[in-house]
Amino acid sequence: MLGSRANPVLVLDFGAQYAQLIARRVRELHVYSKIVSHAITAEEVLAERPRALILSGGPKSVWVEGAPTVDPRIWELDLPILGICYGAQLMSRELGGEVARSGSGEFGRTLFESSSDGGSLLSGLPGEFEVWMSHQDAIVRGPGGATTLGSTEHAPVAAFEDRGAKRYGVQFHPEVSHGSFGREVLSSFLFSAGGIEPRWTNFTIIEEAIGEIRQTVGESRAICALSGGVDSTVAAVLTHEAIGDQLTCVFVDTGLLRAGEAEQVTTLFRSQFHITLVHVDASDRFFANLAGVTDPESKRKIIGETFIRVFEEIAAELSDAKFLVQGTLYPDVIESGTATAAKIKSHHNVGGLPEDMSFSLVEPLRHLFKDEVRAVGVELGVPEAMVWRQPFPGPGLAVRIIGEVTPEHAGRVREADRIVQEELNRSGASKGLWQAFAVLAPSLRSVGVSGDERTYDSPVILRAVESEDAMTADWARLPYDVIDRISRRIVGEVAGVNRVVYDVTSKPPGTIEWE
């Protein structure tokens, strides 16, 4: 049962972070997109029954030995194809054009000048506008039969199209918000060139998800792994819409939650949504299983397995509980390792589940990005305060403790995090942030002074980032006075901490979380 996910736009990933952003931009235009490997075969493409293909940018030059390419038979398919940056260069090189090693790359904002009426791709756009470039090589002649639509100072063919062959290319990145008219370029490709109908809406997402859940679960019972975060909350409400009282939500207090979270979750689900909720305090069990463990991947897997074992025990008390509902998102799937993406980290709900788990999974959000989940949540009546909460990792505070996870360490990082949230909210600095939190490094010690006494305590790392979907992120330029208040309060109020440092690393090369 695919519905609006039938006939997707396939984004062929050549190894750049841009592929995820392209997919999101297509979906913002209400067209379902799916990321696949550039190594996909023509037969596999046809099996997806796509409406169009988009070739993403990539970090390599088309002239580097071993540079990624595509199955040559893909060019022969009767499908609209848009090449972006590397994708446009590859199309040109493979189909009779020319790509030169100019030695004068373009990076960042660049002036684009149209050299024709704009064709179908740039129709209605100004003769000059700023675009976002990131390339070293340049297209000097587009594919055979293609018309040049515009250029920049160092890119003679910065856009081209061949309407008869349904081939289009831009040297710039229309998916990046820093340039102008990127949305219009993608819209022209999808609707004018591709003739695609915009069917990917909140309403269709909800209706189709409800239908799929009902078809999957049937008359059985399901348990929802409820963490209290945005993803699991929306997954729970959506599943309840589908199967009603066949759903039991299980909220496990791991001892690794944010301050006041257990009370907030139980009140919301029992009072507002009237969803059956089992609240299990398993904190002692989690801390016992994590004792002495310092490896981040081991911690994630232990937490994931402990979650499942708790669920299995609850399921034993319910008749016919065969399904486990989880708030897995599309970025979770990608970052946990796919054919097109390296494994960045294990998620407890993707790569960290035990093989002998007795449940079958129901993942109603598996195809969605975070912004789509939030929009669906609003549509379902989830309070906006919950919908717009900052993302919280499945393993909880365990991934914000560098080293062994103990009740004492969890208490310290929880208190530090509470202070971070209070000060950011009080100052208004939380607006526009994707995430902001505290990390405790108990295994590190530094000399400090408290009153007239020498201290030898641990540091807290303050992390705040801006992002659209967590695939990439930039560290937030918080006001110094806000950082100062956070630092003073943490050092003064959290026992065993005598230093606060601010993480100014973007993603990439870092990740948002520390472990």
Q: Is 367 a catalytic residue?
A: no
In whole angstroms, give the CA distance from residue 515 to residue 511: 8
Peptide bond into 50 cis (omega under 30): no
**What does the block give as tokens for 347?**
């998620």
> Taking CA 461 as the corner, what is the angle to CA 457 and CA 462, rounded to the nearest 5 degrees?
135
Question: How many CA atoms are closer than 13 Å to the CA of 244, on its beta-carbon side?
Answer: 3
Q: Annotated catalytic residue: which of 38, 173, 348, 409?
A: 173
Catalytic residue among 85, 208, 261, 415: 85
Q: Which residues pair with 385 in a beta bridge?
A: none
Q: Are 34 and 11 in contact (CB under 8 A)?
A: yes
The catalytically annotated residue of 38, 135, 161, 175 is: 175
- Pull the structure tokens for residue 319: 């008749």
| Helix-then-strand count for the chain, H and E | 14, 21
173 counts as catalytic: yes
The per-residue b/e assignment along 228-250, b for 16 or more CB within 10 angstroms, e otherwise, is bbbbbbbbbbbbbbbbeebbbbb
The structure tokens 């060019």 sit at: 75
Strands of 247-253's sheet, edge to edge?
A: 277-281, 247-253, 221-226, 321-325, 360-362
Cβ neighbours of residue 290 under 8 Å, at least 6 residues apart? 299, 302, 303, 398, 404, 405
Whether 311 contacts 324, CB under 8 Å? yes
d(C-alpha 151, C-alpha 149), whole Å: 7
Residues 6+ apart with CB under 8 A from 197: none
CB-CB contact of 331 with 367 (8 Å): no
Q: Residue 465 forms beta bridges with which residues?
A: 435, 475
Specify whether 515 is catalytic: no
CB 136 within 8 A of CB 96: no
DSSP per-residue letters across 307-323: HHHHHHHHHTTSTTEEE
Residues found in the chain? 515
Write out the catalytic residue numbers. 85, 173, 175
